[in-house]
Amino acid sequence: MTGFWTSIRNCFQMFVCNPDTLRPSRRRLVLGCTIGVLILGALCLGTLSLIFGSLYFVRVRLLSYFQIPFLAFLNLFPVVLLALLLYFLTNRAWIAFGLSSLLVLTGSFVNYYKVVFRDDPLVAEDLGQIRDAAGIMGQYDFHFTYHFYCAIGLCVLGTLILAFFFRGRVKKVRWRLLGCAVLVLISLGSYRLWYESDDLYDSFENYTYFNRYKPTEDSASRGFVYPFLHSITECFLPAPEGYSPEAAQQMLNAYTEDSIPEGQKVNFICVMLESFADLSVCADIPFQKDPYEDFHKLQAESYSGLLLSDTMGGGTCNAERSFLTGYAYPHVNYRHPTESFVWYFRRQGYYTEGCHPGHDWFYNRQNIDENLGFEAYQFSEELFSQLTEEEYAYDDIFFPALRDQYDNRPSDQPYFNFSVSYQGHSPYDTESLQWGEEYIAQDDLPLESYYLLNNYFGSIADTSRRMSEFVDSFRDEEEPVVLVFFGDHKPTLGAGNNFYASLGIDLDRSTLEGFTNYYATPYLIWANDAAKEALNCDVTGQGANISPMYLMPELFDLLGWKGPAYMQLLLDLKPVLPLVHSTQVYLENGVLTETLSPNSQKLLENLEIIQYYLRDAVYS
């Protein structure tokens, strides 16, 4: 019995008493045990971050991370490094674990509730808006489930265990400094090697229990710590050569924001049409029935031209955001209020809103549209799910809903609406005639090609008819209304777009004709009589072939307006470089080129400087 109590006393002295009083061999044992338990606690803490990062506390989601060992490692490793670094800084394991718990749990909780309330994951850029975020979070009611209390309790328990039973310390300061230096070097090296890599990030395919097409789910499929650290790269987009805020502001100062004349503040409804393209201008297609008949009639009484989109078959948001901002591809995440043409309309007293039959999380529109200046935006969740039992509303529902938005607009403000349709989205049925019409004969076409092409043209014909009906509803409107329609990109037609060849369409992008066939979609500007009278403008004619970033300036120029300073700069640039493309191809003096003249190259560099400056500007 005496031996038992002696062992208890020795253990108590070894782990609870000051280890500095112990013999060197025991002191090293205590230090090793302390570091080992701290690492174990950090691994448990990292696992807690994965539990909350999975969003729904579903066991199979948590286990999915460990089925990809390197993905689990990338989430746990930084937590271990953090705990060890804090240990060498403080020389107290309980302080290191407590501070690590505070940081990791706080981040995990904020990420969880940011997804719940905003459907947007926590990213590094959010740390720059902590004050604004605190104000926003104060608007919500938080309800912690038992998961949160258990996590906090476990971290408190771990801190107490380390405080009372694992008190090993590094006695010499030089060893602590060396430990800090080694950990910092490991952290920097691993960040550059793993966490900074877009290729590595995109390589993880953990989508069995996660929706890859939903941004929050896509992020959650990789955990919490790893996506958060990877998002740091988005905070430091490289500035263009020669950039400085002073240089950008000096270039903008050459222009002065011009207001819209009071008597000319007409109402605008702008519609981006999913995969809407006029293929009849690309080749002489032998239609059995012309799907573009209604569109061409409308085109004849409008101002129209071609947009040379930055993408084909996808990337809808690129044309959308170029139109709303005037910025060239590629687009940033717009995670804070960013200068746009929508904000200009608001400064001019306009009410700004829109709608889209898709989900609010797709392309993170619910947050980005607000940051670009929209006061209200309705998606499937708020509007269209009440109008149809289908997942997505087609144009027979979309256009009447758009008209209802106009009819219910504030009566004391001019109106700006930008909306995005869904009808026309691929894939297209390859087994039957979905629209019940034959627009091209089968002849030598494979059956799959026959059905797909007819179903695409059926969608085009229906959209054109609905568009014409929508326009007709404004002809006798007493209020002045200007309508803008444009396609976002060409449709995907067959694997590798091989069905374009069936229509005789040349897609050789090394030539201007093939490049235009590959990327061009129509834009159309129509005004009712009341608007033409208010603007003293006919609003008809042939427009230029331009990049999407020039469409709003093209509209303003047509109406005789100058707009904001940045728009005036674009109006000066448009005749020189009407095409600034994602493929680093430009249109200069009517010729496609990858190499610009010195003068045009300088203009492009100035544009990049100003865009970088404006995208970083925050508006409250």
Residues paired with residue 490 on neighbouring β-strands, in sequence order:
312
Lowest mean per-residue pLDDT among 15-19, 68-72, 79-83: 15-19
The mean per-residue pLDDT over the stretch 605-614 comes to 93
What's the CA dihedral at 106, 111, 116, 119 to 10 degrees?
160
Which residues are CB-neighbours of 42 under 8 A, at least 6 positions away? 76, 79, 80, 82, 83, 84, 97, 100
Topology given in CATH for the domain delimited by 246-615: Alkaline Phosphatase, subunit A (3.40.720)
* Cβ–Cβ < 8 Å for 387, 394: no
Give the pLDDT confidence score for residue 134 in this predicted structure: 59
Geometric angle at alpha carbon 609, from 332 and 593, rounded to 5°: 85
Residue located via tokens 């060893």: 175
- Give the DSSP H or E segment for 137: helix 130-137
Q: Distance (Å, rounded) from C-alpha 143 to C-alpha 275? A: 43
List pLDDT tens digits, range 309-320: 998 887 788 899
List pLDDT tens digits, range 523-569: 999 999 999 999 999 999 999 999 999 999 999 999 999 999 999 99
- pLDDT of 430 above 50: yes
The mean per-residue pLDDT over the stretch 120-134 comes to 68
- Report the length, in residues, of the chain: 620
Q: Distance (Å, rounded) from C-alpha 424 to C-alpha 247? A: 44
Secondary structure letter of residue 442 according to DSSP? -
- pLDDT of 132 above 50: no
Q: How far is CA 620 from CA 45, 114, 308, 327, 341, in A?
A: 37, 20, 33, 20, 15
Which residues are CB-neighbours of 113 under 8 A, at least 6 positions away? 137, 140, 142
CATH 3.40.720.10 residue ranges of the chain are: 246-615
Q: What is the mean pLDDT of the chain?
A: 89
- Strand pairing category for 303-308 and 520-527: antiparallel
Name the E strands within 379-479.
Answer: 415-420
Count of C-beta atoms within a 10 Å radius of residue 138: 7
Residue in 584, 550, 510, 566 with CA at minimum distance from that of residue 307: 550
Q: Distance (Å, rounded) from C-alpha 375 to C-alpha 391? A: 25
Count of C-beta atoms within a 10 Å radius of residue 283: 13
DSSP SS3 for 593: strand
Residue in 349, 469, 492 with CA at minimum distance from that of residue 409: 349
600 token code pair: 């045009």
Q: How far is CA 84 from CA 138, 453, 590, in A?
A: 34, 61, 62
CA torsion through residues 239, 242, 244, 248, sign = negative
Supply φ then ψ for residue 99, to 5 degrees: -65, -40
- pLDDT of 140 above 70: no
